Amino acid sequence: MDQIDLLQGLNEQQIAAITAPPTATLVIAGPGSGKTAVLTRRVAYLVGQLGVPPYQIMAVTFTNKAAREMQERIQRLLGQQINGLTIGTFHAICARILRREAAHVGISPSFTIYDTEDQLSLVRMALAELGLDEERSAPRRFLSAISNAKNELITPEAYPRGNFNDRQVAQVYERYQALLSAAKALDFDDLLLYCVALFRDHAAIRRDYQARYAHILVDEFQDTNTAQYELVRLLAGAQGNPFCVGDPDQSIYRFRGADYRNLARFRSDYPHAKLILLEQNYRSHQIILDAAMAIIDKNPDRVRKRLYSTRRDGAKIVLKQLSDDDDEAQYVVWTIREAVQQRRYAYRDCAVMFRTNAQSRVLEETFVRAGVPYKLIGGAPFYSRREIKDLLAYLRAIQNPSDDVSLRRIINTPPRGIGKTTLAKLEEWALARNQSLSDALGALRSGQPSPFSGKALGALESLAAMLDVWRNLRDSMPIGVLLGDVLDQTDYLKYINDGTPEGRERLENVQELLRVAEAQGDKPLALYLEEIALLSDVDTQDDSGDHVVLLTLHAAKGLEFPVVFIVGLEEGLLPHAQSLEDEEQLAEERRLMYVGLTRAKDQLYLTWTLRRVGYGGGLGERTLASRFLEDIPPELTVGSPVPKRSASAAFTARSSDDRALPPRPAWRLPTTSQPAAPRPELPPRSANISTSSLYRSGQRVYHDRLGPGVIIASRFVDGDEELDIRFEKHGLKRLFASIAPLRMLDDE
DNA sequence: AAATTTCCTCTTTTT
DNA sequence: GAGGAAATTT
Ligand SMILES: Nc1ncnc2c1ncn2[C@@H]1O[C@H](COP(=O)(O)OP(=O)(O)OP(=O)(O)O)[C@@H](O)[C@H]1O
């Protein structure tokens, strides 16, 4: 096979980056400028032109899928198979290193990787042990505090204890780590943390790895957190030549500790680093780029970048205001179908992006009804289904007898007569014997005196017997056979297939899992479990097949599509309600919008609605167009005018909005199931609700007893308006507008 | 003592 | 529209 000329068709700066001499190098460039392309070609260049052995190269990508694509791309560029490259996400690479070096950091080489759900259940246990379980939302809050600390490399001992809250977190953090360690498990953050500790505390090992990985390349560097940054520095060494590419305007993972200032930090840690800027955009035409620039330029404290494309002309951005989320979904589906019928695009050229996963539901329903093929990325991925997690918990419990979280999950699933009391007793007994639940279970079988009644004892013993058999078979049996045996012995299929349609679906999911497991052949169980644990949402997406792609804005990072829809451009959604308070978070919402816009090659559609159905159903809340829409120069757009937020805030009657829409929009899909009346109209107005639309989310109010607060949400229940209000002193309350003694406060 | 049902809160983004 | 906790039934 012939090698493609690596530098053909590239611009000067791109070539400079690809062929940069081996010193620390930082490529900062806007979207679509070929950052990923450059990084990929540099790897190919190192191997193909400079003769660097592949095993000396580590390339870090943001997802496993990106890693796979990079590997393939490099092989295509070089015209041959290349073995030995280390390409993967930080987490995957760290997991691999830790399996090998476990002993040096005091962990088991067969550690289990805990996901967020497992983490939460550990936090719950920790809280219960410490007697801190009063609040319902506490576990999540503690977990996020703990995770933030870990991302900053702060150990439980080093956690600040300045105030009561800190001291509580520190306590829980400490217990949480102890529970993890007892379960021989690591959470996602630990993968990074232990790797950093490994290299920081063991000079000899560090030198070995530094010598091996002469070339370290990192994509999406703006979304690294402190632990990841530290890892790069430790692995590269002070004299090393890390090659990092990123765009500070595309940093969108602050919530999990990412900090785009790592780009600046890199420059100060490597003062001699070569800085390369790529200026030309090869993805989008100028209209899209002008809009994107207009959005991002409003962010404070940034270096302005010009985005330049040789494609000066292109379709204007289509803005579309819809009456509600149903209409929005129908508009999207109709528009895509039109484009495909007219042969302008294939389904796979189109992507629909949204801020929150919850928004995908309405879209999915509409795609199904219209018979338009689609693939949803993320959301409720296969591996997070209940039935799948149950079975994986069996496998994990077989693999790792210390894994108490998994054992608790399966101990009475399917129900086998082991209830709360028995579980509590078992826990107490195990604790007294200083054993894991599984080990205690095993001890039970050998006739140890125990506190259990005959019935409970029988149930426990039979589970213990099964686990014993499986553990003995583990290494001699392919995963598929093992899983088949678990299904047989536990009668799991009968348990989930209850005759309902949901039951059938669960059954199919399990059968699918069995097929996947059987396809693993003789792969060690531990490895299979690790792969599953580190799967990301985009990873499960295969690009073959012709379907529209539905995905969150976060998942869209790094991707590109000819046609992009961004839906739900409303205040409270984008920017998200949770981000409105904080300047930094608001800036990140803006970057999210920017990332979305710059995914489009040819055509952008931006939609928003006047009313969106909220959580509990009902008629939904009124919504306002996103502030970001106002920042796009009108000459770049066609379609609905963007309503001024200040003006629309003065609306009091909702009916006028609804009448403004054509009674039967041209783009409404004919539906067989619900022909004439497409969706419930608003209830007839009566006197007692004429004042109701005074309240909208964001409005500040004063309650005679509860004091000042802010409206979070409003919906209609039995003709009255029900308000969710967050009071400064009393937290979230749900009140009826008609009876609550409320006054509105002026904004600003 | 276990199983089932009802209640109730919470709902951003994810390796 | 889930998932955990409490209440209720078996
Ligand atoms: N010199 C070039 N000539 C033609 N096409 C190019 C050139 N460089 C990059 N491209 C194309 O531009 C597109 C964007 O490239 P790439 O995804 O590498 O950009 P990026 O900077 O990583 O983008 P983002 O930051 O948005 O992820 C790709 O389709 C790529 O093939």
**Of A255, A228, A238, A186, nearest in space to A93 by CA:** A228
Same domain flag for A582 and A635: yes
Contact between A398 and A470 under an 8 Å Cβ cutoff? The reply is yes
Residue A427 lies in a domain: yes
Give the domain extent around A716.
699-744
A147 pLDDT band (50/70/90 cuts)?
A: very high
Q: What is the CA radius of gyration of chain A?
A: 28
Verify if strand B has an atom below 7 Å from the CB of A664: no
**Does residue A316 or residue A744 have the better pLDDT?**
A316
Same domain flag for A492 and A639: no
Residue A34 Cα, ligand 1 centroid: separation in angstroms?
A: 3
A228 pLDDT band (50/70/90 cuts)?
A: very high
Q: For this complex, say whether ipTM is above 0.85.
A: yes
Residue A191 has pLDDT above 90, yes or no: yes
Output the pLDDT for position A748.
34
Same domain flag for A556 and A577: yes
A395 pLDDT band (50/70/90 cuts)?
A: very high
Residue A518 lies in a domain: yes
A731 pLDDT band (50/70/90 cuts)?
A: low
Average pLDDT of chain A, as a whole number = 84
A679 pLDDT band (50/70/90 cuts)?
A: very low
Q: Express each pLDDT in A435-471 by its tens digit.
A: 888 888 888 777 666 677 777 788 888 888 899 999 9
Residue A517 lies in a domain: yes
- The catalytically annotated residue of A101, A118, A190, A219 is A219
Residue A654 lies in a domain: no
Helix, coil or strand: residue A382: helix
Residue A653 lies in a domain: no
What element of type H or E holds A41? helix A35-48
Output the pLDDT for position A618.
47
Same domain flag for A119 and A222: no
Distance CA A574, CA A354 (A): 9
Output the pLDDT for position A176.
93
For range A248-267, the mean pLDDT: 93
**Of A166, A165, A146, A144, nearest in space to A154 by CA:** A146
Output the pLDDT for position A73.
93
For range A118-146, the mean pLDDT: 83
Q: Express each pLDDT in A633-672 by its tens digit.
A: 999 999 888 887 654 443 333 333 333 333 333 343 333 3
What would the two tokens of residue A258 be?
């990412």
With CA of A421 and C1' of each nucleotide, the nearest comes out as: B1
Please name the residues in contact with A130: beta carbons below 8 A apart, sequence gap of 6 or more.
A171, A172, A175
Which ligand 1 atom is at minimum distance from the Cα of A282? 12
For range A17-32, the mean pLDDT: 93
What is the CATH number for A220?
A: 3.40.50.300
Same domain flag for A402 and A490: yes
Same domain flag for A195 and A337: no
Is A523 an annotated catalytic residue?
A: no
Task: State the pairing for strand pair A374-376/A548-552.
Answer: parallel
Q: How far is CA A56 from the centre of its chain?
A: 31
Domain end among A528, A558, A590: A528
Domain end among A528, A556, A583: A528
A290 pLDDT band (50/70/90 cuts)?
A: very high
Residue A572 lies in a domain: yes
Output the pLDDT for position A383.
79
Same domain flag for A505 and A428: yes
Residue A364 lies in a domain: yes
**Of A524, A539, A536, nearest in space to A109 by CA:** A524
For range A584-613, the mean pLDDT: 93
Task: State the pairing for strand pair A548-552/A350-354.
Answer: parallel
Number of domains within chain A:
5
Residue A591 has pLDDT above 80, yes or no: yes
Q: How many helices (H) and strands (E) does chain A have?
A: 27, 21
Q: Express each pLDDT in A493-507 by its tens digit.
A: 888 877 777 788 788
Output the pLDDT for position A266.
94
Same domain flag for A428 and A522: yes
Output the pLDDT for position A716.
59
Least confident of A104-113, A392-401, A639-648: A639-648
A747 pLDDT band (50/70/90 cuts)?
A: very low
Q: Express each pLDDT in A63-97 by its tens digit.
A: 888 998 999 999 999 989 999 999 999 999 999 99
Is A468 an annotated catalytic residue?
A: no
Q: Express each pLDDT in A323-369 by its tens digit.
A: 888 899 999 999 999 999 999 999 999 999 999 988 888 898 899 88
- The catalytically annotated residue of A13, A250, A399, A637 is A250
Output the pLDDT for position A639.
85
Other Cβ atoms within 10 Å of A471 Cβ, number: 15
Is A36 an annotated catalytic residue?
A: yes
What would the two tokens of residue A453 be?
């009644």
Same domain flag for A68 and A204: yes
Residue A167 has pLDDT above 70, yes or no: yes
Interatomic distance A143 CA / C3 C1' (Å): 17
**Of A531, A611, A539, A517, nearest in space to A568 by CA:** A611
Residue A4 Cα, ligand 1 centroid: separation in angstroms?
A: 17
- The catalytically annotated residue of A101, A118, A189, A220 is A220
Distance CA A284, CA A732 (A): 44
What is the CATH number for A420?
A: 1.10.486.10
Same domain flag for A322 and A370: yes
Output the pLDDT for position A729.
65
Helix, coil or strand: residue A166: helix
Is the Cβ atom of A449 under 6 angstroms away from ligand 1? no
Distance CA A396, CA A615 (A): 35
Output the pLDDT for position A672.
32
For range A46-65, the mean pLDDT: 93
Residue A401 has pLDDT above 80, yes or no: yes
Is A312 an annotated catalytic residue?
A: no
Interatomic distance A372 CA / B7 C1' (Å): 39
Same domain flag for A408 and A505: yes
Q: Which residue is nearest to nucleotide B2 (CA to C1')?
A: A419
DSSP letter (8 states) at residue A632: S
To the nearest 10°, report the CA torsion of A414, A423, A139, A620.
40
Least confident of A30-39, A400-409, A684-693: A684-693
Residue A209 has pLDDT above 80, yes or no: yes
Domain end among A282, A317, A337: A282
Same domain flag for A402 and A522: yes
Contact between A629 and A340 under an 8 Å Cβ cutoff? The reply is no
Residue A652 lies in a domain: no
In this prediction, what percent of chain A has a pLDDT beyond 90?
48
For range A523-540, the mean pLDDT: 82
